[in-house]
């Protein structure tokens, strides 16, 4: 029994196997990443059209100058204006109990919620997830920045409820900033 055979060879074999597997995973990731990104973009486009079905198109707005000036919340990731003036789409990320909640909020030209949808979330199934059901999320329809506080949190899901409401509140504030109502 030599030290080389008992100690070095297994380490060398395992290292080579790890390198091969890592390389294969990196190659697979590089190959599938564009497909995954395209599918995610399609899901967002479909969600935009469901949120504001009367829109004939969407224009991505440049919000960096608002962010640079510090007047736009960091939770806002994108803002789109409909090309026919029927509203705005705000993409927002809010921190919930299970992690980030990615919301899409449709806002009318008058500053009222048209509809919301959840794009991604990791909340506790059955406990936090009822916040996203139409029975609760639908209560925000036609609400503006002053009336969203009237929507009560779901008992037992207060953190998720507050995160959802905070995301909608941030979206409405972003709308006001973009429209020039709030400086």
Looking up residue 138, the CATH number of its domain turns out to be: 3.90.1010
Q: How many structural domains does the chain have?
A: 2
What's residue 1's pLDDT?
A: 55
Residues 143 and 175 in one domain: yes
Asked if the model's pLDDT at residue 2 lies above 80, the reply is no
* Most trustworthy range by pLDDT among 4-13, 38-47, 70-79, 123-132: 38-47
pLDDT in tens, 55-89: 999 999 988 877 767 778 889 999 999 999 999 99
Which has the higher per-residue pLDDT, 5 or 169?
169
Q: pTM of this prediction?
A: 0.79
Residues 103 and 17 in one domain: no
Residues 108 and 145 in one domain: yes
What's residue 24's pLDDT?
A: 93
pLDDT above 70 covers a percentage of the chain that reads: 96
Residues 125 and 154 in one domain: yes
The whole-number average pLDDT for the span 104-131 is 91
> Who's near 73: CB < 8 A, 6+ residues apart?
92, 170, 173, 174
Residues 141 and 157 in one domain: yes
Return the CA Rg of the chain: 23
Domain span holding position 114: 55-179
What's residue 183's pLDDT?
A: 41
What's residue 181's pLDDT?
A: 54
Residues 77 and 45 in one domain: no
Residues 35 and 60 in one domain: no
Residues 66 and 147 in one domain: yes
Residues 41 and 60 in one domain: no
Asked if the model's pLDDT at residue 151 lies above 80, the reply is yes
What's residue 124's pLDDT?
A: 85
Residues 83 and 31 in one domain: no
């Amino acid at each position: 029994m030599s030290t080389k055979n008992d100690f070095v060879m297994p380490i060398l074999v395992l290292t080579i196997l790890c390198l091969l597997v890592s390389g294969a995973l990196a190659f697979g990731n590089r190959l599938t990443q564009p497909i995954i990104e395209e599918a995610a973009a399609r899901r967002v486009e479909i969600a935009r059209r469901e949120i504001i079905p009367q829109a004939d198109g969407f224009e991505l707005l440049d919000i960096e100058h608002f962010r640079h000036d510090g007047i736009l919340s960091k939770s806002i990731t994108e803002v789109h204006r409909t090309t026919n003036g029927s509203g705005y789409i705000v993409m927002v990320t809010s921190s919930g109990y299970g992690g980030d909640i990615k919301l899409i909020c449709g806002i009318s030209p008058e500053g009222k919620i048209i509809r919301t949808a959840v794009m991604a979330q990791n909340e506790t199934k059955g406990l936090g997830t009822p916040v996203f059901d139409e029975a609760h999320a639908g209560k925000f329809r036609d609400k503006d920045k002053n009336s969203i506080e009237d929507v009560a949190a779901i008992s037992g899901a207060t953190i998720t409820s507050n995160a959802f409401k905070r995301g909608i509140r941030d979206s409405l504030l972003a709308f006001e900033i973009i429209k020039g109502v709030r400086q």
